[in-house]
């Protein structure tokens, strides 16, 4: 069984090697079969673990990774309910997206096609390593691995420099977070001498409050970078430069939720530090609001979805911050379903539109691409929280948890949820309803996507619609299956003594009323063609994303570039280059002079030798003086 | 004793070979076979098997250190002979006598690695040197070879005089020729040691420094190395030089650490090290001839070997053995290749990689090893030397100086690699002499260097069994 566990991450790695090394030899169908196949098998293996309940109490150790007199960091995996859940999401959704990609990326040449799939497989490998690792170092390995894969895939079309900058931005922002993560690991090592989850969590209470708070905040800094929270969120919208399935897999369903996984995994530490919890919740709600407000006025379909992702991640952090860890993880799952579906649907739309991403140039696609339309509608309903979809159940739980923690937090989160519904309906209406606004060529090109793309859409749509029932509130006949499943690893928030029924009815009612109002409002609002002129006033600020990128450029990027330019053109050119070349020239010069001592005359040589003996005698007898003299100089 | 007896016997056999053996080509192989027997005899003695048992104690003492060094030296000579068979045949008419002299040099080496008496030291040095004076002039028709031979002899005679003066003064100070010091005289002492002994030691050290071509007594080296036939240069610059170092080390190990602890000798060595490194490395930079560059490089490498004599501890001892191996192999290989190229200048090597890829690749490894790049033996050789100084606990600045000069040395070593690989040209090689056997030998040497660099314990574990 342990070998089987090892196979799960190794299979995608094998796929990466096969597809990557033989990229010039393999044909396109074969590449697709290998790359999707390994993920499919990994998914089946994960299902085996899930159904046999193979959750060993101790970590499975394979070999010593770093071993010295002080630390013993092993390469070991922790198979438990939490990691199994994430593995199911990664391999399951990952498999669907691989299948979808075989069709979506069909225009690439075989070599690039293979490059794409090898990166994708490597990503799945790294992500599995991240969630399977039984200590923070293995998690960090996976953490870095997904970072580099994200970089490679954002810059997949590397001939476009804009995309390369986006990739670089993502990488640098992630690295900033990684520093925090690394420092947290060092801190743990220094205080506890171990980074194994079992040892860290059982000794966590021995840590002082300062230590716990410092470690958890630093871990959260890592999560901020990876999960795109304020202030390190600006890379995620730019990351949409990558192919759309990549956005679905990496920048919606899996990698960006690594931060949530990390905090859920470290819940023992966070529970010891109320300060860190509050920081997590505040950052989460602020991000949720900010990103949702920006999403309102974006015209690029993928940008809207990207900001939506940032905003949804904010919701998850709110859940974690108020102590509802399982709820946060639950929202990761439902979000993986409906957001992957939204991205893949958007990919299908872009595919149909021949590469067009501007929603103002779409419209009326309902009839042309019906499968995409219906699945997209289900996703929009789910993310907006339409009653009894997966998104409704997970989001309502977040709101309930926020309400029992603090009232202002609840109202802010709820407002963000309203905004979510608003911008999602806007996209939906602009894309699928009304009349077509694109040019004739595009209209002629419109067609439904092939089955390799639509089947994953349908499967995800089913999951997005009913996937939430595992955690249906008791009020509606549910049994908390999800919370019970995770209970051995992650504690759920207790709602004991609260009047849940009233609140849940209130939320249900509020949601229905809100959605109707929004729907009507949207219909009226988007009836008039308002895309002729530019946005004005506050709308303009939102359309420009609160000028965040400009702000970062002004206070960080540009000063940094200026310093670099100064170092390059002044310090290096005239300073360091001068010194280096000067040393070289000096040595050459002295070489030319010293050479002359070798005159070729034996008489001279013997004279110098005799003089040298004399000098050595003088040095020997006066060495105390010489040493004293040298010490005085230096 | 095995190696000493066998090498003397083989020297005489080779002398008779010039009359008895008509097939000229056979002589080189006879010599190689002779070397093999000496090598086996010496290894056998390391494990306790001797041909004869004489009580030689007060004069010679065959300890494991010396025997192990003998093995390294004889192995190096063996490789040297195999690589230079054709060159030696071409150098003058007297091939058997050439080998005879080499066997006598080995005789001198075995004495120098085991001497316990200053007179034996003198005898060993002379047995080592006198054949070399002849070998240097073995290319009789070549004026440069004759000039080198005469210069070497004149300066060698001068250093012999100095050496005898030193030994005489030590005798005057202690009343014995033994390497282990006897009773010190009571009059005219410095920290309890006779002035005569100190003066004698300094003078003796200068003479040893001359043999090891350590600055400021190195002047003979570039001229002689440049003028001598290439095989002889190769032999002198490697095996003979490291043997001189070993003798030097043995002298200092006893005389400097044990008896004269109150006297600080470090300063004088430090001056020599810095001077040697400076002159060797700096002058090598400007050379246009590869042969002359290697002559200066051998001085620079001597500077590094001086670190062992400076620190005189166990690390230094191991390091000296390691350095002897690493340095000798790489330099022998470089000289062997050079003798296949007609033009010795850097331009003559231009484009060698295109014409003779095996030669260029192996030479690149030799050069990397000499400049001390990791994964080659040269790296650990330098590492041991510098580590030995650090272990003494003081004079850290000397390590920094060493590293700086090692960096400078990369310039002239890599210049040759650059010429071979990155410049275009048609090097004038003697193609019919580059046999598959020669190439394979070079590859074996290169592989050995890399192996030593990857697993440095290989050699030293054997030293300790």
Q: What six digits make up the tokens of A406? A: 């603090």
Please give the DSSP secondary-structure letter assigned to residue B117.
B
Given a cut of 90, whether residue A633 has pLDDT beyond it is: no
CB–CB contact B158 A609 (8 Å): yes
Cβ pair A598:B155 closer than 8 A: no
Where do the domains of chain B lie?
265-465
- Which residue among A591, A605, A619 sits closest to B283, beta carbon to beta carbon? A591
Looking at the fold, whether A611 and A591 belong to one and the same domain comes out as no
> Do residue A286 and residue A407 come from a single domain?
yes
B283, A598: Cβ pair inside 8 Å? yes
Residue B279 with chain A: CB contacts under 8 Å:
594, 597
pTM, to two decimals: 0.69
Quick one: average pLDDT of B87-113? 90
For the purposes of burial, counting CB atoms within 10 Å of the CB of B283, is it exposed (0-12), middle (13-18) or buried (19 or more)? buried
Alpha carbon distance B169, B204 (integer Å): 9
Each residue's pLDDT tens digit, A521-531: 776 666 545 55
Q: What is the pLDDT of residue A543?
A: 78
**Tokens (6 digits) for A331:** 């929202």
Q: Are residues A322 and A416 in the same domain?
A: yes
The rounded percent of chain A whose pLDDT value lies above 90 is: 49
Q: Mean pLDDT, to the nearest integer, of A190-207?
A: 89
- Domain-embedded: residue A328: yes
Does residue A534 sit in the same domain as residue A553?
no
The reply to whether A213 falls in a domain is no
Of residues B433 and B148, more confidently modeled? B148
The encoded tokens of residue B441 equal 């030998």
pLDDT of residue B258: 52
Per-residue pLDDT, averaged over B131-155, amounts to 92
Q: Does one domain contain both A420 and A516?
A: yes
Query: CA-CA distance, B345 to B343, in Å (whole number)?
Result: 6
B206 and chain A in contact, CB less than 8 A = yes
| Cβ–Cβ < 8 Å for B410, B367 | no
Residue of B nearest to A617 (CA): B202
Of A608, A613, A626, the CB nearest to B219: A608
| The dihedral sign for the CA sequence A494, A499, A505, A507 | negative
Q: What is the mean pLDDT of residues A160-176?
A: 92
More confident residue, B282 or B22: B282
Q: Do B158 and A626 touch (CB under 8 A)?
A: no
User: Which residues constitute the domain of residue A581?
Assistant: 544-596
Count Cβ–Cβ pairs < 8 Å, chain A vs chain B: 71
> Nearest C-alpha of chain A: how many angstroms from B183?
23
Rounded to whole angstroms, the Cα distance separating B259 from B355 reads: 58
pLDDT score of A548? 85
- Nearest-by-CA chain A residue for B205: A613
- pLDDT-based confidence at B262, cuts 50/70/90? low
Task: For chain B, say whether A499 makes contact (Cβ under 8 Å).
Answer: no
Partner-chain contact A620 B268, CB within 8 Å: yes
Residue A525 confidence (pLDDT): 65
Q: Are residues A445 and A535 in the same domain?
A: yes
Tell me whether B190 touches chain A (CB under 8 Å).
no
At which residue do the structure tokens 């470290």 appear?
Answer: A266
Residue A66: what pLDDT? 84
What are B361's two structure tokens? 């690749």
pLDDT at A533 > cutoff 70:
no
For residues B215 and B271, what is the distance between their CA atoms, to the nearest angstrom?
9
**pLDDT tens for each residue of A210-220:** 999 999 999 99
CB–CB of A606 and B155 under 8 A?
yes
Contact yes or no for B285 and A606 at CB 8 A: no
Cβ of B279 within 8 Å of Cβ of A594? The answer is yes
A478 plus A610 within the same structural domain: no
CA distances from residue B129 to A178, A436, A611, B218, B247 in whole angstroms, order as listed: 66, 101, 24, 15, 13
The pLDDT confidence band at residue A470, using thresholds 50, 70 and 90, is confident
Stronger pLDDT, A420 or B1, i.e. the higher one: A420
Q: Label residue A563 by pLDDT band (50, 70, 90).
A: very high
The more confident residue out of A366 and B258 is A366
Interface test with B, best of A584, A610, A612 (most B CBs within 10 A): A612
- pLDDT score of B444: 95
Q: Which of B283, B289, B400 to mutate to test the interface with A (most CBs of A within 10 A)?
A: B283
CB < 8 Å from A in window 393-422 of B = 408, 411
The whole-chain average pLDDT of chain A stands at 88
Q: Which of A593, A600, A609, A619 to mutate to test the interface with B (most CBs of B within 10 A)?
A: A609
Tell which wins on pLDDT, B122 or A439.
B122
- Mean of pLDDT values over A258-286: 93
Residues of A in contact with B216 (CB under 8 A): 608-609, 612, 615
Write out pLDDT tens, residues A75-109: 999 999 999 999 999 999 999 999 999 999 888 88
pLDDT for B260 equals 52
Q: How far apart are CA A363 and CA B298, in angstroms?
A: 82
- Could you give the maximum distance between any two Cα atoms of chain B, in Å? 70
A631 plus A497 within the same structural domain:
no
User: Is the CB of B267 less than 8 angstroms away from the CB of A606?
Assistant: no
pLDDT tens string A295-354: 888 888 999 999 999 999 999 999 999 988 999 999 999 999 999 999 999 999 998 888
| pLDDT tens digits for range B169-189 | 988 888 888 888 766 666 667
DSSP B289: B
Name which of A581, A585, A623 to mutate to probe chain B: the one with the most chain B Cβ atoms within 10 A of its Cβ. Answer: A623
- Is the same domain home to A549 and A625? no
Q: Please report, for chain A, how many H helices and E strands are present, in that order.
A: 28, 2
Query: Residue B1: is its pLDDT beyond 60?
Result: yes
The residue out of A501, A521, A540 marking a domain boundary is A540
Minimum-distance CB partner of A605 among B220, B285, B411: B220
Query: What's the average model confidence in pLDDT over A184-190?
Result: 92
Tens digits of per-residue pLDDT, B12-52? 999 998 888 888 888 999 999 999 999 999 999 988 888 88
Total structural domains within chain A: 3
> What pLDDT is attached to residue B183?
64
Q: How far is CA A180 from CA A174, A176, A220, A256, A258, in A?
A: 10, 7, 8, 16, 15
For the stretch B341-382, pLDDT in tens is: 988 899 999 999 999 999 999 999 999 999 999 889 999 999
8 Å CB contact of A613 and B206: yes
The reply to whether residue B408 touches residue A587, judged by beta carbons under 8 angstroms, is yes
Q: Based on the fold, state whether residues A501 and A395 are members of the same structural domain.
A: yes
Residues A384 and A466 in one domain: yes
Q: Which of B204, B279, B282 to mutate to test the interface with A (most CBs of A within 10 A)?
A: B282
User: Between vectors from CA A507 to CA A503 and to CA A511, what angle results, nearest 5°?
Assistant: 175
Q: Is A619 close to B210, i.e. CB distance below 8 A?
A: no
What's the CA gap between B136 and B235, in Å, rounded?
10
- Closest CA of chain A from B276, distance in Å: 12
The CA distance from A579 to the nearest CA of chain B, in Å, is: 15
For residue A567, what are its two tokens? 């170092």
Q: What is the pLDDT of residues B42-78, one digit of tens each?
A: 999 988 888 888 888 888 988 889 999 999 999 999 9
What's residue B185's pLDDT?
60
Q: Given this model, what pLDDT does residue B112 score? A: 95
Based on the fold, state whether residues A282 and A401 are members of the same structural domain.
yes
């Amino acid at each position: 069984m342990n070998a089987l566990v090892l196979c799960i991450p190794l299979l995608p790695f094998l796929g990466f090697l096969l597809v990557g090394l033989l990229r010039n030899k393999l044909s396109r169908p074969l590449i697709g079969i290998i790359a999707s196949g390994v993920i499919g098998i990994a998914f089946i293996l994960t299902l085996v673990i899930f159904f046999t309940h193979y959750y060993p109490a101790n970590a499975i150790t394979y070999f010593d990774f770093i071993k010295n007199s002080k630390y013993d960091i092993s390469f070991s995996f922790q198979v438990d309910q939490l990691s199994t859940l994430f593995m199911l999401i990664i391999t399951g959704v990952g498999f669907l997206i691989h299948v979808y990609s075989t069709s979506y990326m069909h225009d690439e040449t075989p070599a690039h096609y293979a490059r794409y799939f090898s990166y994708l497989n490597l990503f799945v490998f790294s992500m599995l390593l991240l969630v399977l690792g039984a200590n923070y170092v293995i998690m960090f390995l996976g953490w870095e691995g997904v970072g580099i894969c994200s970089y490679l895939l954002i810059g997949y079309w590397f001939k476009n420099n804009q995309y390369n900058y986006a990739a670089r931005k993502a990488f640098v922002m992630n690295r900033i977070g990684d520093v925090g993560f690394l420092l947290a690991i060092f801190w743990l090592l220094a205080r506890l001498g171990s980074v194994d989850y079992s040892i860290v969590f059982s000794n966590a209470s021995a840590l002082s409050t300062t230590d716990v708070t410092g470690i958890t905040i630093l871990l959260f800094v890592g999560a901020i970078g990876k999960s795109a929270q304020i202030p390190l969120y600006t890379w995620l919208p730019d990351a949409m430069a990558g192919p759309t399935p990549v956005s679905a897999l990496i920048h919606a369903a899996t990698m960006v939720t690594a931060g949530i996984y990390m905090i859920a995994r470290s819940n023992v530490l966070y529970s010891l530090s109320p300060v860190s919890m509050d920081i997590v919740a505040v950052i989460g709600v602020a991000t949720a609001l900010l990103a949702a407000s920006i999403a309102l006025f974006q015209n690029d379909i993928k940008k809207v979805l990207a900001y939506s992702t940032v905003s949804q991640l904010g919701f998850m952090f709110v859940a974690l911050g108020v102590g509802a860890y399982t709820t946060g993880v639950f929202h990761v799952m439902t979000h993986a379903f409906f957001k992957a579906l939204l991205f893949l649907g958007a990919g299908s739309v872009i595919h149909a539109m021949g590469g067009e991403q501007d929603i103002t140039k779409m419209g009326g696609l309902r009839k042309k691409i019906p499968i995409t339309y219906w699945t997209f509608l289900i996703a929009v309903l789910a993310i907006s929280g339409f009653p009894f979809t997966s998104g409704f159940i997970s989001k309502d739980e977040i709101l309930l948890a926020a309400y029992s923690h603090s009232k202002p937090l609840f109202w802010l989160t709820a407002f963000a949820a309203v905004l979510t519904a608003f911008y999602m309906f806007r996209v939906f209406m602009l894309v699928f309803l009304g009349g077509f606004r694109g040019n004739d060529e595009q209209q002629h090109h419109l067609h439904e996507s092939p089955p390799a793309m639509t089947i994953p859409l349908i499967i995800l749509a089913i999951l997005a619609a009913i996937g939430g029932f595992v955690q249906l509130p008791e009020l509606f006949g549910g049994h908390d299956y999800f919370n019970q499943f995770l209970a051995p690893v992650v504690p759920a928030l207790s709602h004991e003594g609260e009047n849940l029924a009233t609140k849940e009815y209130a939320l249900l009612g509020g949601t229905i009323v809100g959605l109707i109002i929004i729907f009507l409002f949207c219909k009226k609002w988007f009836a008039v063609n308002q895309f002729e002129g530019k946005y004005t006033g506050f709308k303009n600020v939102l359309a420009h994303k609160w000028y965040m990128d400009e702000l970062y450029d002004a206070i960080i990027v540009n000063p940094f570039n200026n310093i670099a330019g100064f170092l390059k053109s002044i310090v290096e050119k005239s300073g360091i280059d001068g010194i280096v070349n000067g040393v070289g020239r000096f040595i050459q010069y002295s070489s030319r002079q010293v050479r002359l001592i070798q005159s070729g005359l034996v008489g001279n040589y013997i004279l110098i030798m005799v003089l040298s003996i004399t000098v050595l005698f003088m040095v020997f007898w006066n060495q105390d003086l010489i040493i004293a003299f040298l010490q005085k100089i230096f | 004793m095995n190696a000493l007896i066998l090498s003397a016997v083989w020297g005489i056999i080779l002398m008779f070979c010039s009359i008895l053996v008509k097939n000229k080509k056979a002589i080189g192989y006879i010599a190689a076979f002779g070397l093999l027997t000496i090598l086996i005899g010496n290894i056998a003695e390391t494990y306790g098997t001797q041909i004869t048992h004489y009580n030689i104690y007060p004069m010679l003492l065959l300890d494991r250190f010396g025997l192990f060094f003998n093995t390294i030296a004889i192995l190096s000579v063996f490789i040297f002979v195999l690589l230079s068979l054709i060159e030696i045949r071409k150098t003058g008419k007297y091939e058997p006598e050439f080998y005879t002299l080499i066997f006598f040099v080995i005789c001198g080496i075995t004495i120098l690695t085991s001497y316990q008496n200053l007179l034996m030291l003198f005898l060993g040095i002379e047995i080592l040197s006198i054949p070399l004076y002849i070998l240097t002039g073995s290319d009789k028709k070549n004026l440069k070879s004759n000039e080198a031979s005469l210069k070497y002899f004149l300066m060698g005679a001068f250093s012999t005089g100095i050496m005898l003066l030193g030994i005489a003064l030590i005798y005057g100070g202690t009343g014995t020729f033994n390497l282990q010091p006897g009773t010190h005289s009571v009059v005219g002492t410095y920290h309890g040691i006779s002035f005569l002994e100190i003066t004698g030691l300094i003078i003796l050290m200068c003479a040893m420094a001359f043999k090891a071509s350590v600055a400021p007594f190195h002047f003979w080296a570039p001229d002689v190395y440049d003028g001598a036939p290439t095989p002889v240069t190769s032999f002198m610059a490697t095996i003979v030089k490291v043997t001189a170092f070993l003798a030097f080390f043995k002298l200092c190990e006893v005389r400097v650490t044990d008896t004269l602890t109150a006297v600080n000798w470090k300063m004088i060595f430090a001056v020599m090290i810095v001077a040697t490194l400076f002159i060797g490395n700096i002058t090598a930079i400007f050379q246009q001839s590869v042969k002359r560059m290697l002559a200066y490089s051998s001085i620079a490498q001597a500077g590094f070997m001086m670190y062992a004599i400076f620190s005189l501890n166990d690390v230094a001892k191991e390091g000296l053995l390691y350095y002897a191996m690493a340095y000798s192999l790489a330099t022998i290989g470089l000289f062997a290749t050079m003798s296949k190229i007609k033009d010795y200048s850097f331009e003559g090597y231009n484009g060698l990689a295109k014409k003779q890829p095996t030669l260029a690749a192996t030479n690149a490894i030799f050069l990397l090893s000499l400049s001390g790049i990791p994964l080659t033996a040269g790296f650990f050789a330098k590492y041991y030397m510098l580590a030995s100084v650090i272990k003494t606990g003081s004079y850290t600045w000397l390590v920094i100086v060493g590293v700086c000069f090692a960096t400078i040395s990369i310039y002239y070593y890599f210049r040759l690699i650059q010429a071979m690989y990155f410049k275009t040209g048609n090097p004038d090689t003697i193609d019919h002499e580059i046999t598959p056997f020669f190439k394979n030998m070079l590859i074996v040497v290169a592989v050995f260097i890399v192996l030593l660099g990857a697993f440095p314990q290989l050699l030293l574990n054997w030293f300790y069994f």
